[in-house]
Amino acid sequence: MLNNNNVSTGGRNMLPAFIINSEGTNIARPTIASLEDADKFVSERIGTDGTFSCYLGEEILIRDGAYNDIWQVVGVDTELGKGDTPLIKHHITLVPKAIIDVSKIHSSNVDCHGYANSDMMYAKTIPNIVTHLEKVLGDHLLERRVKLSNATSDNTSPNAYISSDNGYYSVKANLLCQMQVFGTVDSSNSNEYDTGDDTEQLPGFKYGEVDKGIDNWYWLRDVYGYVSSGSYYGFSGVNTDGSLDYTNVNASTGGVRPLITIG
């Protein structure tokens, strides 16, 4: 079970806008602190012909006035063509280097009937993150259509309360799923309703340029089901050592590490 102790979002207001390389000299870290910065970054880094000027694991500081966190490039055009209304804009895919918030998935220990019906993470926490990111990214924070679980099996099924259906939803930030992080799923609990269209491991995780395990454990969007030994309803997460685990949907110290696309 995921460890609910020692959660910190770090000293985000003090993050430097530079990196120190192996020679001890400062290298400018790309920083987006305004809509003008976002315009400049996109025009310099993303070509209309699908060429990119970035690298896996590259750090970008987004100063949105609230979270002010370092994000890392985990891929390019990873969401292209996905969705019932396919995303057609070239983009850079980012995840935070560390958790940017803590949140429950659901407000109480009950079956929330899939990620899209969670009354905390999906309904409140992620939208709040998007509101702040939009202040500096504007329309460059791309909206996309993703398949999210929205129903669960009943308690008479062999695996009680796992995802049993999904549907398309419009998002600008979204929790990762097991497949995106690990390139595989725990088939005893997670399934195609959790994975949706995200059927491949993200390049940054695949090639080890972005860490799976970070200083705090964080949530994934895969429903784990009912855990009879602990009498709770679970969701998946990633331990600090980068391993897959699970815990109670209303664990208050769950880390938030969403995926966004900018273009």
pLDDT digits (tens, 9 = 90+) for 146-197: 999 988 887 765 567 888 899 999 999 999 999 999 999 987 777 889 999 9
Residue 226: inside a domain, yes or no? yes
The closest of 78, 36, 33 to 60, measured between CA atoms, is 33
**In Å, how far are 1, 103, 226 from 229, measured between CA atoms?**
11, 24, 9
**Residue 135: DSSP 8-state:** H
Residue 8: inside a domain, yes or no? no
Report d(CA 1, CA 101) in Å as an integer. 20
Residue 72: inside a domain, yes or no? yes
Residue 1: inside a domain, yes or no? no
Cβ-based neighbour number of residue 171 at 10 Å: 23
The closest of 152, 250, 259, 248 to 197, measured between CA atoms, is 259
Q: Which residue has the higher pLDDT, 118 or 229?
A: 118
Question: pLDDT by residue (tens digit) across 54-92?
Answer: 999 999 999 999 999 999 999 999 999 999 999 999 999
Residue 103: inside a domain, yes or no? yes
Residue 7: inside a domain, yes or no? no
Residue 6: inside a domain, yes or no? no
Question: What pLDDT, on the 0 to 100 scale, is given for residue 168?
Answer: 98
Backbone phi, then psi, for 245, in 5-degree steps? -155, -165
User: In what order do the strands lie in the sheet containing 232-238?
Assistant: 101-102, 255-256, 218-227, 232-238, 244-248
Cβ-based neighbour number of residue 25 at 10 Å: 9
Cβ-based neighbour number of residue 33 at 10 Å: 16
Cβ-based neighbour number of residue 72 at 10 Å: 19
Question: pLDDT by residue (tens digit) across 214-240?
Answer: 999 999 999 987 777 777 788 899 999
Report yes or no: 99 and 216 within 8 Å, Cβ to Cβ. Answer: yes
pLDDT tier, 9 (very low <50, low <70, confident <90, very high otherwise): very low
| Counted domains in the chain | 1
State which residues form the domain around 79.
13-262
Residue 4: inside a domain, yes or no? no
